[in-house]
């Protein structure tokens, strides 16, 4: 049968306890009363049994001695009636029943009752035996039964009386207890109601401190406790509101699991991370099955068992399955929660959404893999590039031109051996890593015009196209030529540096000058020849036309040169021509050019000159030639000249016409008597 729980109210407990105590006392009193009654009745029954035995012996011994057993029946019936016996039976000395009264003789007699206690155990008849002695001999036995129903009835009556008295005492005691306890319980109920109000967060009523001292003290203590609890509840409510606000508004997911692993509370961030509301999570039968990705569930369950066993953990990474079916990576941390007394309250679990970090890690892994592939290719290409660089370096080192590569910051990356030789830098003094400006400073003493060259470098740095060759002289007489261009990068419009090429063109310059001299100058007099005269005539005519100025032409023909050459020989003629070229050339000004255009024929061009200025120039030349004196083999010789003058555009519109009119003017001067000048006229007059 199920155990019945005792009443929980104090009143009921007091009533039950009082009833139990009174019942116990009543039971004890009833037992003592019944016991006393039993003892008295048993003693009385014992005496009755002894009296019966004596009476039977006195009445039945004669019949037993005489053996007249059947004659004893009337006496037995009389004795049975007088003594109130249940039955009588006569037995001989061998214990054989011979006569019975009040009992069927065919039924065996019951055993003799040992003592009166057996009667109390259940028998209502005392079975006794008395010997029928005659002197020292036993003639037989008489068996008798004494009814003890009155003893049992008396005992039952005593018990009933005790029970009735006990019940009355219990009822009276409980009534007294109810009256006494009712006032106490009423006060206690008020205290309980006040505490219930406090527990419910309501302001409790103040209890009156009256009545018994203990009750008054309890009321005052309850009032003080209620006040303190009310204050603490208010403080706890403020703290709870703060903590709740912090927990609910936390960006990370925060949750609380009880010691059995059941979710108690979770903040709203779970809905942002997984799409499930806090209520759905709390009501979920198996939170791991609902939230955790299937591949991570076994791992999560194992870690959950460890966590509930008391372990802490940080940054356990696993995947959650969102409500829409997508996956999100989270980092889980947990630790146990204990109250102020150290009792285990469960687990605090924090989830941090690391999806962005995981995606970044995946991209990073892909990038690393790509970088490794690129690194492999780079190493392959680097080996090839180093080989190609070695080949290129060997090629550049055998070149006679100096090559220098610099980076975007104008730092030298590479120089070949020829560049060291050209600039006179020892090869052990490496230029790699040196700034271009530093190299310019180191080589400044070598340049004849350093400022001009620096200006040239500044202009080059402002250009993006390949520069035109630039020549510059060194202080040791050498002439260098440089060319520079930007080195393009992979992207359009990107440049990774610049290359400079320096070439020592001293010998080339010398040869070129010599070739130019041979092509443009008369080898005997070193004056410009007829070819250069034609070039300069066309150039000066174009310049004069552009500037709208005049260009003057003198055509000079020597008088008497052929006789000297024929008489004194070609060497004497050469001496005359060389001396004349030197003396007349010394009188030529900056805007004038002197040419030998034939054997003894010369020409002079003067820019921006008037007719008067050309006449003056003709007179100076005639004077210089006339004053020349030569001596060959002890003989004196002298020269004169005839000069024709023509001016552009007055006397000719082009070079051919101008030269033709100059020749005509010169011939007119010669035919007019020589040693004179003549300006060209349509109808010329000396």
- Is residue 594 classed as helix, strand or coil in its secondary structure? strand
The helix or strand, by DSSP H or E, that contains position 305, with its residue range, turns out to be helix 297-308
| pLDDT tens-digit readout, 313-342 | 888 888 998 989 899 899 898 888 888 888
Q: Name the CATH code of domain 399-510 (choices 3.30.110.60, 3.30.450.20, 3.30.420.10, 3.30.210.10).
A: 3.30.450.20
Mean pLDDT value across the chain = 83
Confidence (pLDDT) at 203: 65
Cα–Cα nearest to 622, from 656, 673, 660 = 673
Chain position carrying tokens 């209502």:
124
Q: Is the pLDDT of residue 608 over 70?
A: yes
Low-confidence winner among 3-17, 326-340, 418-432, 471-485 (lowest mean pLDDT): 3-17
Tokens matching residue 75: 């006496």
Q: How far is CA 224 from the centre of its chain?
A: 54
CATH architecture of 10-164: 2-Layer Sandwich (3.30)
Provide the residue count of the chain. 686
Tokens matching residue 266: 């979770």
Position 102 confidence tier, pLDDT thresholds 50, 70, 90: confident
Confidence (pLDDT) at 474: 93
Q: Which CATH class is domain 521-679?
A: alpha beta
Q: What is the DSSP string of 525-562?
A: T--B-HHHHHHHHHHHHHHHHHHT--EEEEEEEEESHH
| pLDDT tens-digit readout, 337-379 | 888 888 888 888 888 888 888 888 889 998 888 888 888 887 8
Confidence (pLDDT) at 140: 82
Residues 673 and 684: their CA atoms lie apart, in Å, by 15
Cα–Cα nearest to 478, from 505, 441, 512 = 505
Confidence (pLDDT) at 149: 74
Residues 578-587, mean pLDDT to the nearest whole number: 93
Contacts of 168 (CB under 8 A, 6+ apart): none
Q: Is the pLDDT of residue 81 over 50?
A: yes
Taking CA 192 as the corner, what is the angle to CA 190 and CA 195, rounded to the nearest 5 degrees? 110
Residues 37 and 45: their CA atoms lie apart, in Å, by 12
Residues 132-155, mean pLDDT to the nearest whole number: 76
Backbone angles phi, psi at 57, to 5 degrees: -60, -45
Confidence (pLDDT) at 187: 67
Residues 314 and 331: their CA atoms lie apart, in Å, by 8
Q: Is the pLDDT of residue 93 over 80?
A: no
Looking from the CA of 7 toward its CB, the CA atoms found within 13 Å total: 9
Q: Is the pLDDT of residue 1 over 50?
A: no
Residues 248 and 347: their CA atoms lie apart, in Å, by 17
Of 131 and 281, which is predicted with more confidence? Answer: 281
Angle between helix 570-587 and 561-568 (nearest 10): 140
Residues 274, 280: contact at Cβ < 8 Å?
no
Low-confidence winner among 315-319, 496-500, 579-583 (lowest mean pLDDT): 315-319
Backbone angles phi, psi at 321, to 5 degrees: -100, 115
The sheet carrying 592-596 orders its strands as: 592-596, 601-607, 551-559, 640-648, 677-679
According to DSSP, the residues that pair with 88 across neighbouring strands are 101, 144
Q: Is the pLDDT of residue 663 over 60?
A: yes
Please report, in angstroms and rounded to a whole number, the separation of the first and last CA atoms in the chain: 171
Confidence (pLDDT) at 393: 66
pTM for the model stands at 0.37
Q: How far is CA 540 from the centre of its chain?
A: 81
- Highest mean pLDDT: which of 229-233, 560-564, 658-662? 658-662
Q: Is the pLDDT of residue 282 over 90?
A: no
Chain position carrying tokens 């949750």:
255
Burial class of residue 468, CB neighbours in 10 A (0-12, 13-18, 19+): exposed
Backbone angles phi, psi at 112, to 5 degrees: -70, 135
DSSP 446: G
Confidence (pLDDT) at 475: 92
Confidence (pLDDT) at 684: 46
Residues 330, 318: contact at Cβ < 8 Å?
yes
Confidence (pLDDT) at 685: 44
Give whole-number Cα distances, 614 to 155, 451, 589, 606, 664, in Å.
188, 40, 12, 8, 16
Cα–Cα nearest to 570, from 638, 526, 632 = 632
Give whole-number Cα distances, 324 to 21, 382, 449, 495, in Å.
70, 50, 81, 52
High-pLDDT (> 90) share of the chain, %: 29
Residues 591 and 532: their CA atoms lie apart, in Å, by 16
Residues 322 and 328: their CA atoms lie apart, in Å, by 7
Confidence (pLDDT) at 300: 86
Q: What is the DSSP string of 313-355?
A: EEEEEEEEE-TTS-EEEEEEEEEEEE-TT--EEEEEEEEEE-H
| pLDDT tens-digit readout, 394-410 | 777 667 788 999 998 99
Confidence (pLDDT) at 515: 77
DSSP 310: T
| pLDDT tens-digit readout, 227-270 | 777 777 667 666 666 666 666 667 778 888 888 888 888 888 88
Number of neighbours of residue 527 by Cβ within 10 angstroms: 25
Contacts of 402 (CB under 8 A, 6+ apart): 415, 416, 418, 419, 420, 421, 422, 423, 500, 501, 502, 503
Looking from the CA of 643 toward its CB, the CA atoms found within 13 Å total: 25
Q: Is the pLDDT of residue 578 over 90?
A: yes
Confidence (pLDDT) at 243: 62
Q: Name the CATH code of domain 250-353 (choices 3.40.640.10, 3.30.450.20, 3.40.50.720, 2.40.110.10).
A: 3.30.450.20
Confidence (pLDDT) at 451: 92
Residues 631 and 568: their CA atoms lie apart, in Å, by 10
Residues 655-669, mean pLDDT to the nearest whole number: 95
């Amino acid at each position: 049968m199920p155990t019945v729980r005792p009443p929980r109210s104090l009143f009921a407990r007091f009533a039950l306890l009082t009833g139990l105590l009174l019942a116990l006392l009543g039971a004890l009193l009833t037992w003592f009363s019944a016991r006393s009654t039993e003892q008295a009745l048993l003693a009385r029954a014992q005496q009755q049994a002894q009296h019966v035995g004596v009476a039977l012996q006195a009445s039945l011994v004669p019949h037993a001695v005489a053996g007249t057993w059947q004659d004893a029946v009337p006496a037995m019936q009389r004795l049975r009636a007088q003594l109130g016996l249940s039955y009588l039976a006569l037995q001989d000395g061998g214990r054989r029943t011979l006569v019975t009264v009040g009992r069927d003789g065919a039924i065996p007699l019951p055993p003799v009752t040992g003592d009166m206690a057996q009667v109390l155990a259940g028998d209502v008849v005392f079975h006794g035996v008395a010997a029928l002695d005659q002197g020292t001999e036993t003639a037989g036995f008489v068996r008798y039964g004494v009814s003890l129903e009155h003893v049992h009835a008396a005992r039952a009556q005593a018990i009933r009386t005790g029970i009735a008295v006990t019940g009355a005492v219990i009822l009276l005691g409980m009534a007294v207890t109810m009256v006494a306890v009712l006032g106490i319980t009423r006060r206690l109920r008020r205290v309980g109601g006040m505490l219930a109000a406090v527990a419910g967060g309501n302001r409790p009523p103040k209890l009156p401190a009256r009545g018994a001292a203990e009750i008054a003290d309890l009321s005052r203590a309850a009032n003080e406790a209620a006040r303190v609890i009310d204050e603490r509840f208010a403080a706890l409510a403020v703290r709870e509101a703060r903590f709740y606000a912090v927990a609910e508004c936390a960006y990370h997911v925060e949750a609380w699991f009880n010691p059995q692993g059941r979710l108690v509370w979770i903040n709203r961030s779970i809905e942002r991370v997984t799409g499930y509301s806090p209520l759905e999570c709390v009501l979920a039968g198996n939170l791991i099955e609902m939230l955790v990705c299937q591949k991570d569930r076994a791992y999560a369950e194992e870690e959950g068992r460890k966590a509930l066993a008391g372990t802490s953990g940080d940054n356990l990474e696993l995947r959650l399955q969102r409500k829409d079916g997508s996956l999100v990576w989270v980092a889980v941390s947990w630790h146990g929660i204990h109250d102020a007394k150290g009792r285990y309250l469960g687990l605090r679990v924090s989830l941090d959404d690391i999806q962005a970090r995981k995606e970044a890690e995946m991209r990073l892994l892909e990038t690393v893999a790509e970088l490794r592939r690129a690194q492999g290719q780079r190493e392959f290409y680097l080996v090839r590039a180093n080989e190609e660089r070695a080949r290129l370096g060997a090629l550049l080192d055998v070149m006679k031109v100096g090559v220098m590569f610099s980076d975007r910051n104008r730092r030298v990356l590479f120089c070949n051996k020829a560049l060291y030789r050209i600039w006179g830098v020892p090869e052990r003094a490496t230029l790699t890593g040196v700034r271009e400006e530093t190299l310019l400073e180191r080589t400044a003493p070598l340049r004849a015009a350093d400022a001009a060259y620096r200006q040239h470098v500044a202009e080059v740095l402002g250009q993006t196209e390949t520069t035109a060759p630039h020549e510059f002289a060194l202080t040791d007489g050498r002439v260098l030529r440089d060319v520079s261009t930007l080195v393009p990068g992979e992207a359009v419009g990107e440049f990774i540096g610049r290359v400079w090429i320096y070439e020592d063109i001293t010998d080339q310059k010398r040869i070129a000058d010599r070739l130019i001299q041979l092509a443009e100058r008369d080898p005997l007099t070193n004056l410009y020849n007829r070819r250069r005269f034609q070039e300069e005539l066309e150039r000066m005519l174009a310049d004069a036309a552009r500037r709208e100025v005049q260009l003057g032409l003198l055509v000079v023909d020597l008088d008497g040169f052929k006789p000297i050459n024929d008489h004194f020989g070609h060497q004497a003629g050469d001496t005359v021509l060389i001396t004349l070229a030197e003396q007349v050339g010394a009188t030529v000004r900056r805007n004038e050019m002197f040419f030998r255009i034939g054997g003894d024929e010369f020409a002079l061009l003067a820019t921006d000159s008037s007719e008067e200025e050309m006449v003056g120039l003709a007179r100076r030349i005639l004077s210089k030639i006339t004053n020349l004196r030569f001596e060959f083999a002890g003989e004196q010789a002298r020269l004169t000249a005839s000069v024709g003058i023509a001016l552009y555009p007055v006397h000719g519109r082009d070079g051919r016409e101008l030269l033709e009119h100059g020749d005509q003017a010169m011939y007119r001067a010669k035919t007019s008597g020589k040693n004179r000048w003549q300006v060209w006229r349509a109808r010329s007059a000396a």
